[in-house]
Amino acid sequence: MEMYRTYRDGWLEAITGCMFAGKTEELIRRIKVFEFARKEVVVFKPKIDDRYSATKVVSHAGSSVESYAVASSAEILPHVKESTQVVAIDEVQFFDEGICAVCEQLADQGKRVVVAGLDMDFRGEPFGPMPTLITQAEFVTKLTAVCTKCGAPATRTQRLVNGLPARYQEPIILVGASESYEARCRHCHEVPGKYAPEE
């Protein structure tokens, strides 16, 4: 008699990479595939990310989906019902460390959890909870962009403040600053003061 293997639902997927690599676009693509398959999906974003919309997850290319904008990881669980099958979280690097336990709990409950976020900050160092989430995830997709200076595969995010590379001592998150970002490869990424910190 032929035997059929069964598996239990519930796992964590992480989509990561630098800015302009298409992380949010890929997250939205997966959400729409789930919805087309009539899966019950709930989407979250950090309230701090209001660049394009206060309530929607929006990619740089303009794709969007409705979401809950929450201030902390503790606000996620009350929005997830027993019938929810997929939980998607964008810009996950901005959440507190509690997001790791929330994702684990949801996956253990049989939910498919998909998170997207930057793996490195502008300094080229691990960003917030992303290292832990990547370690916990069953599946990791690392996307690259194109370096704006040389055209090589870009894995890092260059922060520019008033047109100049941000110094290492700048805060990780700047709200309302005159800053912009570019995708850069390892060799074109500039962080003044990284190897010789200022006093």
3-class DSSP assignment, residue 105? helix
Catalytic pick among 13, 26, 40, 91: 91
| Amino acid code (one letter) for 48 | I
**Which element (helix H / strand E) includes 91?**
none
Based on the residue annotation, tell me whether 91 is a catalytic residue of this protein: yes
Considering only CA atoms, which of 57, 50, 94 is closest in space to residue 73?
Answer: 94
CA distance linking residue 129 with residue 117, whole number of Å? 10
| Amino acid code (one letter) for 193 | G
Q: How far is CA 195 from CA 42, 45, 119, 198, in A?
A: 42, 34, 20, 9
Q: Residues 6 or more apart from 6 whose CB is under 8 A from it?
A: none
Buried-state track 128-167, b at ≥16 Cβ within 10 A, e below 16: bbbbbbbebbeeebebbbebebeeeebbbbbbeeeeebbb
Q: Which residues are catalytic?
A: 91
